[in-house]
Amino acid sequence: MAEAPALEIVRTAGQLRLRLDGWRRDGHAIGLVPTMGGLHEGHLALVRRSAEATARTVATLFVNPKQFGPGEDFETYPRDEERDVRLFAGAGAHLVYAPGVEEIYPPGAVTQVSVPGLGDMLEGQCRPGFFTGVATVVAKLFAQAMPDRAFFGEKDFQQLQVIRRMAADLNFPIAIEGVPTVRQDDGLALSSRNAYLSKDERKIAPALYGTIRAVAERVAAGGGPAEEAARGERRLLEAGFAAVDYLTVRDALTLQPVPELFGDSGAPARVLAAARLGDTRLIDNVAV
Ligand code: AMP
């Protein structure tokens, strides 16, 4: 296999701006793909999509301390810059932005971006402050790079909607594009955290996707959203999940609960779930 070409890494916003200004002068549209590293095919699908849609792709590597709660895995989050840069290069990125913490949070920084409503429910309720951490870092990356387009995975569906809202509210002239979830053959959505699963847990994990897909199919066929969600929750516990944080059918745009008779409404809906398998928390979602 041919070696992927070396990829330039910049570590300051000033260097980033210089490189991007040059590309803009040459008339190139710029795509941004924010990640925390620990790369897998899901991240690379975003890079490939950006390379297809824009002339220049900037991938970012930043493990954002502000989106980890106390007791979460900030310290142990997988970090292997050399591997990640090689994978970015192979997927078609043109530049990697890997800032240090002070480059994103200057000394004394206190300003935050929060998205009330969308950012408080579901994941936001289970992980207080999480979406403020996400919206703040993405707003900062947008301000530093000012890309034409930015790419986010549907795997984190609520995050995608929070970012769309934030970008519109803060008048960023950036097109936000969602990219479909990349899965293993057995349906498990790729996630950096899958590495934490034991062998036995890994066998149980695909039940999450199987279950939410079954809920989506039954609701599409006329089943009541609340009843089907409750059935799905029981199925996950029977499959061996330790706890279900939520399993719910929501309006795909507002993430508000759908009415019981929503089958006739024609509005797009989404089944979203978070469940714990041993010490690992998995999330997934599908369209109805
Ligand atoms: P992370 O590094 O976990 O913050 O993820 C960076 C980006 O990759 C986010 O936009 C995620 O939604 C996206 N992503 C993570 N896993 C997947 C997947 N399995 N399929 C598609 N996109 C993904």
Ligand 1 binding pocket includes 192 (Cβ within 6 Å): yes
pTM score: 0.96
Ligand 1 binding pocket includes 225 (Cβ within 6 Å): no
Residue 11: strand, helix, or coil? coil
* CATH number at 192-287: 3.30.1300.10
DSSP codes, 137-204: HHHHHHHHH--SEEEEEGGGHHHHHHHHHHHHHTT---EEEEEPPPB-TTSPBP-GGGGG--HHHHHH
pLDDT for res 140: 98
In the numeric block, the tokens 């849609």 are attached to 53
pLDDT for res 264: 60
Pocket test for ligand 1, best of 40, 46, 87 (most atoms within 8 A of CB): 46
- Tokens representing 73? 């895995």
Pocket test for ligand 1, best of 32, 33, 35 (most atoms within 8 A of CB): 35
Segment 176-186 shows an average pLDDT of 98
Q: What is the chain's length?
A: 288
pLDDT for res 127: 94
Residue extents of the structural domains in the chain: 9-179, 192-287
| pLDDT, tens only, 69-126 | 888 889 988 899 999 999 999 999 999 999 999 999 999 999 999 999 999 999 999 9
pLDDT for res 71: 87
- Tokens representing 114? 């929060």
In sequence order, the 6+-apart residues with CB closer than 8 A to the CB of 246 are 122, 126, 272, 273, 274
| Spatial separation of the C-alpha atoms in residues 58 and 150, rounded to whole Å | 10
Check for a shared fold between 9-179 and 192-287.
no
Catalytic residue among 28, 40, 43, 94: 43
pLDDT for res 135: 98
Statement: 9-179 belongs to CATH 3.30.360.10: no
**pLDDT-wise least confident of 8-22, 68-82, 127-141, 144-158:** 68-82
Ligand 1 binding pocket includes 181 (Cβ within 6 Å): yes
Residue 259 pLDDT class (50, 70, 90 cuts):
confident
How many A from CA of 227 to the centre of ligand 1?
30
Ligand 1 binding pocket includes 45 (Cβ within 6 Å): yes
Pocket test for ligand 1, best of 43, 97, 190, 281 (most atoms within 8 A of CB): 43
Let me know if 171 is exposed, middle or buried by CB neighbors in 10 A (0-12, 13-18, 19+). Answer: exposed
| pLDDT, tens only, 202-256 | 999 999 999 999 999 999 999 999 999 999 999 999 999 999 999 999 999 999 9
Average pLDDT of the chain? 95
How many A from CA of 188 to the centre of ligand 1?
13
CB hemisphere CA count around 91 (13 angstroms): 25
136 pLDDT above the threshold of 60? yes
Is 43 catalytic? The answer is yes
For residue 152, give the ligand 1 atom closest to its CA: 10
- Tokens representing 190? 């790729």
